[in-house]
Amino acid sequence: MPGVRSLNRHSPNTLMIRKLESIFKLTDGEKRVLQDLPVQVESLRAEQDIIRIGERASRSCLLLEGFTCVYKLTSEGKRQIMAVHVPGDMPDLQSLHLKVMDISIASIGPSVVGFIQHDDLREACEQYPRLTAALWRETLVDASIYRDWILNIGQRSAYPRVAHLLCELLIRLKAVGFAEDDSFHLPITQAELADAIGITPVHMNRVFQALRADELIEASRGKVAILDERRLREEGDFDPLYLHLINSVSA
């Protein structure tokens, strides 16, 4: 069972505040409300469900460390991962207005999340309408990423698809300071990546080998290094417009 612990460096909400601030300057009042939001921090093991499809949510979570993903199963038991979250993301913010979950959310690798009650969130938004706008915007960016995944899976072959996903992860991790030197820690199996890309684990492996052979990436035991980002973007037909990043150099 998940233990409760306190974060060492920052208050849990610091990540969220920093992220929202990249959109527009928050007033002191807005910052204070966010800072005072009660957050229940929990550590998760790898592959642990946070919430499952069909359940009703009364709180949303903020990812603090590690990774989470959105997934869904077909009736035949095939899994599709529709999104991967990096620290600072709110994986199930949508449940604020869509009570019953249409997806499941799980941790990838060991992670730390903070739960915020919907009532608290709603109250903060009522007090400071710009928070509503900022959170709404977050969900809109999520939607934009979904759209790009549809394009990626629907129109590109396996190799560029993987390249595209890696470009996205790199830029998003850079944006929150979790990728140094174009390399990042990603405790995800090839099988899971395959589920996100819509291909077979076997084929995922072959694509990875091709990417390594082409000297685009290095990958081993949870560590991914992008060797040539420019060329990887070309191969993956990657344009970061859809991420709607603001103060980003690489975007």
Partner DNA sequence: CGACGCCTTGAAGGCGCTCAATCAACGTGG
Partner DNA sequence: CCACGTTGATTGAGCGCCTTCAAGGCGTCG
228: contact with a second copy by CB under 8 A: no
Would you say the C-alpha torsion 97, 100, 104, 108 has a positive or negative sign?
Answer: positive
Q: In whole angstroms, what is the distance from residue 37 CA to residue 1 CA?
A: 24
146: contact with a second copy by CB under 8 A: yes
Radius of gyration in angstroms for the set of CA atoms belonging to the chain, rounded to a whole number? 18
Distance of closest approach, residue 126 Cβ to a second copy, in angstroms: 7
Would you say the C-alpha torsion 72, 74, 79, 84 has a positive or negative sign?
Answer: negative
191: contact with a second copy by CB under 8 A: no
Residue 216 phi/psi, 5-degree rounding, is -95, -35
Rule CB under 8 A: choose which of 29, 38, 54, 222 binds a second copy. 54
Q: Which does 31 bind (CB under 5 to 8 A by kind): DNA, a second copy, none?
A: none
Q: Which is nearer to DNA, 31 or 203 (CB)?
A: 203
Residues 6+ apart with CB under 8 A from 213: none
Q: Which is nearer to a second copy, 45 or 72 (CB)?
A: 72
- Structure token digits, residue 146: 């979904």
Q: Are 64 and 15 in contact (CB under 8 A)?
A: yes
Length of the chain: 251
Distance of closest approach, residue 89 Cβ to a second copy, in angstroms: 14
Size of the site for a second copy (CB under 8 A): 46
DSSP string, 202-244: HHHHHHHHHHHHTTSEEEETTEEEES-HHHHHHHHT--GGGG-
The site string for a second copy over 82-121 (x = CB under 8 A, - otherwise) reads: xx----------x--xx-x-xx------------------
Q: How many CA atoms lie within 13 A of 120 on its CB side?
A: 16
154: contact with a second copy by CB under 8 A: yes
143: contact with a second copy by CB under 8 A: yes
Q: Which is nearer to DNA, 213 or 249 (CB)?
A: 213
Contacts with DNA by CB under 7 A lie at 157-159, 189-191, 198-203, 205-206, 208-209, 221
Q: In whole angstroms, what is the distance from residue 85 CA to residue 172 CA?
A: 9
Distance of closest approach, residue 68 Cβ to a second copy, in angstroms: 15
3-state secondary structure of 110: strand
Rule CB under 8 A: choose which of 151, 200, 201, 206 binds a second copy. 151
Q: Which residues are near a second copy by CB under 8 A? A: 53-54, 70, 72, 74-76, 78-80, 82-83, 94, 97-98, 100, 102-103, 126, 129, 132-133, 136-137, 139-144, 146-151, 153-156, 197-198, 237, 241-242, 244
